[in-house]
Structure 1
């Protein structure tokens, strides 16, 4: 597939992911869209689905191989999908991301920003925060 077509598919996939359009997400993935490819602004499909609470699309993207910890870089959509979902209290999305291997210890902004738990607690989104607390394992200090 040529580069121009890949970019168009990436833009369409991000739009479909954020629009809760599971049929279009599935069709684009079957057509060869990269589940990690950001749109023209740098937003990833998984981030777009996570911030909008599109749990089914999050599940589809993860099943298609989307990296649960890939950072999004779009204006106003920087960071990981887990941080985005935690920030908005999208508990079911957080659950799917954790099941898909998302690291609850990762901070945004290349390690300088908030963790998903800090976002959930700032919300305040207690159910989401409780889910994240349960998922956090102590990190071994070398």
Structure 2
């Protein structure tokens, strides 16, 4: 597939994810959209689906081969899909990611940032935190950084 067509498919896939249109996501994946290809700004389709809690899109992207632990690079949209879903308490998306091999202990920023459990606790999203703990996420280390989510 040529590069131009793949760019168009990637843009269309991100739009379908942002609008939570699972039928369109499915059709674009069948048409050859690569679930692992980030947009020009670095955001990955799986990150976009995870941060919006679009569990059906998350499931489709993972089934099509999107890597569950890869970090997105878009400005303001950087991080792992599991951290994105956990930070907003999207338990259905968290369940899908965990079922497809997302690492509940993986920290963002190349391993130096916050973990999915940190994000869930900061939410606070106790149901998401319990789900992550059941999947093997350890306790939050004493003195872990607090994050100001408003900038």
User: What corresponds to 1:9 in structure 2?
Assistant: 9
Superposition RMSD in Å: 1.0
Q: How far apart are residue 77 of structure 1 and its match? A: 0.6
TM-score by length of 1: 0.94
Q: Aligned equivalents of 1:133 and 1:28: distance in 2?
A: 34
Deviation at 1:52, TM superposition (A): 0.6
Question: What's the offset of the Cα at 1:137?
Answer: 6.1
Give the TM-score normalised by structure 2.
0.89
What is the number of equivalent residue pairs in this alignment?
A: 138
1:67 aligns with 2:67: yes
In structure 2, distance between residues paired with 1:117 and 1:41:
27
1:30-79 Cα distance to aligned partner (Å, 9 max, x none) = 00110111112111011000111100000111111111111100011101
Report deviation, 1:23. Answer: 1.3
Gaps of 5+ in 1: none
Aligned to 1:20: 20
- Structure 2 portions without partners, runs of 5+: 139-151
